[in-house]
Structure 1
Amino acid sequence: MNIGDVARKSGLPAKTIRYYEDIGLVTLPRSENGYRTFRDIELHKLTFLGRARELGFTIEDCRTLLALYEDDGRESAQVKRVAEDHLQKIDEKIAQLQSMRGTLAHLVHECAGDHRPDCPILEDLAGEQG
């Protein structure tokens, strides 16, 4: 398969596939003429990485997960630890977003949104509110 075929089948852009190769996340064999050649195993790894990235895992997390996936001697506890760490980060991000939403909802409610120039939203952004 060529890179276009693999991009279509894996759902990853060709540019992303090249990037993953550049950073050593995947090793792609090359033919004598220097073109990348893709076997089913490379397609499978790229699909794996695409799914991991959809779930928000970092590149380094993906590197760890792929290494664990390829290690027949792995312990599922190792995989779970990576996933739990990521889940904790997601929960922290959700809490931050909920706090931001609460603050912004309050400011929107407080702003009259009329023809007058005073605006609690701008005052808050400028640090002028107590």
Structure 2
Amino acid sequence: MTITIGDAARASGVSEKMIRHYEAIGLVRPARQANGYRHYAEPDIAVLRFIRHARDLAFPLEDVRRLLALWHDRGRASGEVRRLALGHVAALEAKAQSLQAMANSLKHLAATCHGDDRPDCPILDELEGKH
């Protein structure tokens, strides 16, 4: 049984727009009917769910592509999947540290701002590049 893109979107939790994007970049390859309409089978829905879960974990699309290839390869080594996952963990942790540093900088700037009717504002000065 095959279903349309709207049904595939509902079944997978991936928007129609993103399904079209994933098709355009080759992550999913639905069958096309003579009229040009896409038709999705259960394996296509499984791939879309896999992509959605990977993207929910913020894997970049290239990593999603690699993970899909590993998922389809029953002779894969799980160590390769683990290395990809741990590499992504390291990238997420680095990003979290960077975001925390930005938050700390903004907290410091906000603490130096009087927040009253005066026009002087160290936050705007910093954004302008005045030190």
TM-score relative to the length of structure 2: 0.94
Q: Which residue, 100, 125, 130 being the options, matches 1:128?
A: 130
**Structure 2, gaps ≥5 residues long:** none
Specify which of 18, 21, 24 is matched with residue 19 of structure 1: 21
Deviates more, 1:27-36 or 1:53-62: 27-36
Separation of aligned partners in 1, 2:124 and 2:35? 60
Counterpart residue identity of residue 33, structure 2: S
Q: Shift of the alpha carbon at 1:119?
A: 1.1
Return 5+ residue gaps in structure 1 as ranges.
none
Q: Among the aligned pairs, what percent are the same residue?
A: 47
1:47-90 CA distance string (max 9 Å, x none): 10011011101111110000000000101111011111111110
Amino acid paired to 1:113: G
SS of 1:92's equivalent? helix
Partner of 1:36: 38
1:128 and 1:15 mapped to 2: Cα distance?
43
* Large movers: runs of 4+ above 6 Å: none
Number of residue-to-residue matches in the alignment: 129
State the shift of 1:110 in Å.
0.8
Question: What is the deviation of 1:26?
Answer: 1.2
1:90 aligns with 2:85: no
Partners of 1:31 and 1:125 in 2: how far apart? 55
Match of 1:111 in 2: 113
Aligned CA-pair RMSD: 0.9
Distance 2:126 2:35 in 1: 61
